[in-house]
Structure 1
Amino acid sequence: MRRTMAAAVLLVLLLLSAVPFSNDTSAQTELPEWTFMVYLDADNNLEDAGIEDLNEMEEIGSTDDLNIVVQMDRAEGYDTTNGDWEGCRRFKVEKDLDRSTITSPELALLGEVNMGDPGVLVDFVRWSVSNFPAKKYALVLWDHGGAFRGVCYDEKVPGLPEGEYDMINMSDLHKAAEEIYGVLGNNKLDLCGFDACLMGEVAVMYELKDFVKVGVGSGYNEPGDGWPYMKILSPLSDDPRMDERELAKIIVHEYIWSYNNKQEDPQDYPMVTQAAFDLEKMDEVAAVLDRFAEELASSGPFGSLQYLLQIYQARKNCNSYDMANVFIYDLTGYPLYDVIDFTKLLQDYILSAFPKNELIRDLCSRVRTHIGPGEDRFMFYSEADRWHPDASGLSMYFPNKDKDSLSITKIPTTYSTLYDETSFAREHLWDEFLHAYYGIDPIEDSFPTIDITEPSFNSTFSLEDQVVIIRGTAYDREMVDRVEIRVDEGEWSVMPGISGQGTIGWIYQLEPEDLSPGAHRIEVRAWDRPVTETGGNVGKATAPVMTRINILAPPTPEEGSFTIPSWFVQGVIIMIIVGAIVLGVIIYRGGPD
């Protein structure tokens, strides 16, 4: 009987082996944990610092679980070491303890390129991901930085006259981040850091919010030595399974410690900050800053800004990130002020003048609560040098007034219209406050604001999904009259029943079957006034806020192939097992062997 049962089991196994499965069971190669990409734009007076930093990376080098790849563009005349080559090259960084000579293999010679072109940045990331795939990716933009003005200044650009330069501005940064998101298979970049001056600014981080998990940047100008790459990469090499938040904390800590440890190379520096930001919380911060800005721009009993004197005092005394800040004057043209320190001082000044003003107390407190620092906050980790305990590391653009009636000397800071071109200024109210403060002209009726909370950018749906839910919030102090939506730049449609005062939620349903397979652009906007009887708009509308969704095409079998449905395979397996059991029972009842 045992031989008979064994034969039955063997029959089951043979039948199962004959069933075709469509799943690919080939072994998947284990990917490295990290690819650490450095976009090293040394085509300017930072060439010698770039050579030094690449040598620092070589002290650690790539491992089985850590790829370190660099695209470096050199300049002419600043540093003559290492062959004094010019143009742009790509390296996979290998371990080498020689601090003066670059020995890592050159994997690509690109000639002269424009590192201020976002397309060149995207191409570097695409090449890195294709040749060095990993579970997690970090991207460092290395060069001069100018907050919302831009980063990666290239002094020798093909096609531009000598003396002119190009850079990655905020529109370029947004475009590059979106394309990199696509390169990563519609997944967010794990970490984007700026080894550059002044990039720890609200408007900079806002450009990355939909495409990057964690951002790292400096509030102050960075010293020429920049990040201490050996100290940063050593713990990552030792523990490559760390996540992006832990890596960001290491970058922040090692950077600050390198300029405060009383050691040479680099020497201590009296003005350094570095901070790490959870960009998935950026929309929450933007919303509370809108309420804050709107209140600051409100009018007082005499027609001017209600809190004009207190704003002036807080700006004058809070931590400034302009290297040549004297009193209220920003002499280098970078009027960037610490958001946290400003709200603390402003709250004190306003409550001193208006002790019962609970609204401003609440708004200032909410700004600090949402921003941090704190593990569950937007700015989840930050450090500063020991001389600036009030520097949190997050800055906000805050120019002086051109008609400074509160100052005898009247030295203005020119308002940069480049700020108006940032996504943060277009979609939110801080620039509205700046214009009000700049001209001492209160905002009687600010623009409404709107955001999309669901779905996340570039979410994918199939035709089998019943509906695609689009939802978010809109805000206006007086009234949100209506919320409109459009798909692929078509006609605007009003969402029925959506209106109210203050913050309101909205929701809209799309049916996937009404959308063709592929990518679709979804835009929403809010209005604060109804249309007129003649159909005209007399109110103000938000700048359209956009997200993108993808509709999957139905699967089509390859030509000449036949795919067996999974339900059919499962049914066959069940029938085989039942049949084998019945056969075994029949044989067993037939008597012993």
Structure 2
Amino acid sequence: MKTRIIFFLAVAFVPAFFLTARYSGTHSKPSDLRDAPISNSALDQLDLGNFNNAAPLPVPYTPQPEQRSMGVSNWIARTKIKPLTPRKWTIMVFMNGKNNLKDAMFTDVNMMEAIGSDKNINIVAELGRSRGLALKTDLYNWNESRRLYITKDDNAKKITSKTLMGNGRADMGDYRRVVDFVKWAKTNFPADKYMLVISGHGLGWMDPKPAGKGVSFDDRTNNYIRTREMGRLLQESGKVDILTFDACLMQTGEVAAEIGNKVSYILGSEEVVPGLGLPYHILLGILAQRPDMSALDFSSIITLSYTKFYQQYVKGVLFSAVRADKIDGFHRLVRKFTTLAIETSDTAALTAARDGVLRMDIPLFGDLYNFLELYSANMKKQDARISSAIRDLQKYIKEELIAVNSYFGVNSKGRNYQDGHGVSLYIPYAPADGVNNVPISEVEARFEAPYTDFAFTRSTGWYELVSLMSTLPSAGQKRGQHTPLQNTLLQ
């Protein structure tokens, strides 16, 4: 799914460019930044230096027709590589631009080239794209996937980094392509610490059918990386210190459960991500200045630089970092709450929480912490057991699971992002009335695999609560009243 909104902006940072959604010095105390709005003074600790003076970005363009790929072949145009001696960091960016993000990916590589690899940092990228770039550049007719070793230059209209490998038929929606990329990068560009970025379109935990709509979807092969393949991807490629999703809606409990402790930190947004994605020139520039920083510190820099960068372009964003080693404890507390919520069956609290929760651009995604706040505030009668379970889960989310949460502004409906606390879950709407609303059963029928197949709901029983909530009418709901579902998810 692609969002329809396109922002045209003319600001000091760039002369003009478009942002179409992808469905935001090292501080001494990362914990102080755990729930930081953009106005938090901690953001002023970011040493941006001259990295705000980026080169011009691409102008708006019209996507060109593409031919369907004939499949996946072996890599061609190989360049022999003598493995380098280990450096402090290797940044691996898997960039799926075989869709309408192809121009944004061009800009992202140029942002990386504003910094480039150095004696402490390797920056490598696999960039897959298709024809259609509006600017007359060296990429105008590039219709393949290339692996690049990113080197510094000052030319924002050309990618000058050396191509080490190329493949005209690479399937960028195949998780095994990412595995191969990571293994290749680790072998040839070893380091003390690794970050993998998966850049492209995303749809959180949703694996809809027909294929071609999930994370890292490839418009030519109609393939994408399934939620349950995320764990396999990390298992087969080996652990990395940071996994960052430069894609929409990926910071969900369901996605994190599939990944588990195969990484140290999971970074991403609960919400949609502007088309330009991460501000690579800023986060890599700070890393180049301070290559000895820990994975936690770098996670904080990425999270905070995202929100700081987009403050000048959009109305609001969310971004957070999850501690992967806290996921199991999170599941235990979610199960405790779920069990008690079903047992007590406080329909007033469930209805108020479901109907009032901060929802994302795809409205089946709701912020869990905010859901718990609303549930607690609307309980018909105080129950010590469930009140304790809610407090324990909220505390765990805020102090353990979420390493850093940063936000500013409002969403597309004007809701303040201060209600976003770092992780979303599947929260259904009220049941449809059969006239304008889309029944949840119809929505779920469009998923490639049932929600109950996910590790998260097997571990927590969350779908039992989803099923209960999907039967509860909203207070005062009238026949013919519609929800945004029919206008977003199903069109």
* Same fold per superposition (TM over 0.5): yes
Following superposition, the deviation at residue 412 of structure 1 comes to 3.6
Following superposition, the deviation at residue 173 of structure 1 comes to 1.1
Counterpart of 2:351 in structure 1 is 312
- Does the Cα contact within 8 Å between 1:216 and 1:277 map onto a contact in 2? yes
Match of 1:51 among 81, 84, 106: 106
Counterpart of 2:280 in structure 1 is 229
Counterpart of 1:426 in structure 2 is 458
Q: 1:78 and 1:293 mapped to 2: Cα distance?
A: 49
- Does the Cα contact within 8 Å between 2:204 and 2:252 map onto a contact in 1? yes
Q: 1:319 and 1:359 mapped to 2: Cα distance?
A: 25
Match of 2:186 among 116, 121, 129: 129
Following superposition, the deviation at residue 440 of structure 1 comes to 5.6
Q: Could you say which structure has the higher strand fraction?
A: 1
Q: 2:468 and 2:378 mapped to 1: Cα distance?
A: 20
Following superposition, the deviation at residue 433 of structure 1 comes to 1.6
Q: Determine if the alignment matches structure 1 residue 152 to structure 2 residue 216.
A: yes
The DSSP-based 3-state class of the residue aligned with 1:433 is: helix
- Does the Cα contact within 8 Å between 1:220 and 1:271 map onto a contact in 2? no
Following superposition, the deviation at residue 107 of structure 1 comes to 0.6
The DSSP-based 3-state class of the residue aligned with 2:419 is: coil
- Does the Cα contact within 8 Å between 1:403 and 1:439 map onto a contact in 2? no
Greater Rg by CA: 1
Q: 1:109 and 1:39 mapped to 2: Cα distance?
A: 14
Q: Any idea what the Cα deviations from partners look like across 1:111-158, whole Å, max 9, x if unmatched?
A: 22111111111000011011101111100000000001241001112x
Counterpart of 2:17 in structure 1 is none
How does the TM-score come out when normalised to structure 2?
0.72
Counterpart of 2:341 in structure 1 is 296
Match of 2:145 among 81, 88, 92: 88
Match of 1:36 among 88, 91, 94: 91
Q: 1:137 and 1:365 mapped to 2: Cα distance?
A: 35
Q: 1:178 and 1:54 mapped to 2: Cα distance?
A: 27
Q: 1:404 and 1:367 mapped to 2: Cα distance?
A: 33
Q: 1:425 and 1:166 mapped to 2: Cα distance?
A: 25
Q: 1:290 and 1:404 mapped to 2: Cα distance?
A: 30
Q: 2:409 and 2:357 mapped to 1: Cα distance?
A: 16
- Does the Cα contact within 8 Å between 2:240 and 2:262 map onto a contact in 1? yes
Q: Determine if the alignment matches structure 1 residue 69 to structure 2 residue 124.
A: yes
Following superposition, the deviation at residue 360 of structure 1 comes to 2.0
Q: Any idea what the Cα deviations from partners look like across 1:375-433, whole Å, max 9, x if unmatched?
A: xx11010111133211113111112244569xx97554423554222221233311122
- Once the two structures are superposed, the pairs formed by residues 241-256 of structure 1 within 5 Å of their partners are 241-256=292-307
Counterpart of 1:495 in structure 2 is none
5+ residue gaps, structure 1, are: 1-28, 158-164, 182-187, 300-305, 324-329, 442-593
Q: Determine if the alignment matches structure 1 residue 141 to structure 2 residue 164.
A: no
Q: Any idea what the Cα deviations from partners look like across 1:559-579, whole Å, max 9, x if unmatched?
A: xxxxxxxxxxxxxxxxxxxxx
Counterpart of 1:436 in structure 2 is 468
Counterpart of 2:384 in structure 1 is 358
- Does the Cα contact within 8 Å between 1:402 and 1:412 map onto a contact in 2? yes
The DSSP-based 3-state class of the residue aligned with 1:251 is: helix
- Does the Cα contact within 8 Å between 2:317 and 2:409 map onto a contact in 1? no
Q: 1:75 and 1:409 mapped to 2: Cα distance?
A: 38
Following superposition, the deviation at residue 437 of structure 1 comes to 2.6
Q: Determine if the alignment matches structure 1 residue 277 to structure 2 residue 332.
A: no
The DSSP-based 3-state class of the residue aligned with 1:192 is: strand
Q: 1:138 and 1:278 mapped to 2: Cα distance?
A: 14
Q: Which amino acid aligns with 1:156?
A: R
Q: Which amino acid aligns with 2:231?
A: H
- Does the Cα contact within 8 Å between 1:47 and 1:79 map onto a contact in 2? no
Comparing 192-201 with 29-38, greater Cα deviation is found at 29-38
5+ residue gaps, structure 2, are: 1-83, 207-213, 411-416, 474-491
Closer, same or farther in 2 for the Cα pair 1:79/1:130, shift >3 Å? farther
Q: 2:119 and 2:186 mapped to 1: Cα distance?
A: 16
Q: Determine if the alignment matches structure 1 residue 349 to structure 2 residue 394.
A: no
Match of 2:243 among 192, 196, 216: 192
The DSSP-based 3-state class of the residue aligned with 2:360 is: coil
Q: Any idea what the Cα deviations from partners look like across 1:313-349, whole Å, max 9, x if unmatched?
A: 11211211125xxxxxx3xxxx110111111111011
User: Sequence identity, in percent?
Assistant: 29
Counterpart of 2:266 in structure 1 is 215
Following superposition, the deviation at residue 65 of structure 1 comes to 0.8
- Does the Cα contact within 8 Å between 1:174 and 1:208 map onto a contact in 2? yes
- Once the two structures are superposed, the pairs formed by residues 490-505 of structure 1 within 5 Å of their partners are none
Match of 2:331 among 286, 293, 299: 286
Q: 1:410 and 1:94 mapped to 2: Cα distance?
A: 52
- Once the two structures are superposed, the pairs formed by residues 195-206 of structure 1 within 5 Å of their partners are 195-206=246-257
Following superposition, the deviation at residue 91 of structure 1 comes to 0.3
Closer, same or farther in 2 for the Cα pair 1:110/1:177, shift >3 Å? same
Q: Which amino acid aligns with 2:163?
A: E
- Does the Cα contact within 8 Å between 1:274 and 1:382 map onto a contact in 2? yes
Q: Any idea what the Cα deviations from partners look like across 1:216-259, whole Å, max 9, x if unmatched?
A: 01011001111100001011111111111111111110100111
- Does the Cα contact within 8 Å between 1:297 and 1:437 map onto a contact in 2? no
Q: Which amino acid aligns with 1:428?
A: T
Q: Which amino acid aligns with 1:343?
A: L
Q: 1:121 and 1:101 mapped to 2: Cα distance?
A: 25
Following superposition, the deviation at residue 174 of structure 1 comes to 1.2
Q: 2:115 and 2:246 mapped to 1: Cα distance?
A: 18
- Does the Cα contact within 8 Å between 2:408 and 2:418 map onto a contact in 1? yes
Q: Any idea what the Cα deviations from partners look like across 1:199-222, whole Å, max 9, x if unmatched?
A: 010011111113111100101100
| Equivalent pairs, count | 370
Q: Determine if the alignment matches structure 1 residue 99 to structure 2 residue 99.
A: no
Counterpart of 1:368 in structure 2 is 394
Q: Any idea what the Cα deviations from partners look like across 1:495-535, whole Å, max 9, x if unmatched?
A: xxxxxxxxxxxxxxxxxxxxxxxxxxxxxxxxxxxxxxxxx
Counterpart of 1:392 in structure 2 is 421
Counterpart of 2:21 in structure 1 is none
The DSSP-based 3-state class of the residue aligned with 2:291 is: coil
The DSSP-based 3-state class of the residue aligned with 1:179 is: helix
Q: Which amino acid aligns with 1:54?
A: V
Closer, same or farther in 2 for the Cα pair 1:409/1:313, shift >3 Å? farther
Q: Which amino acid aligns with 2:220?
A: K
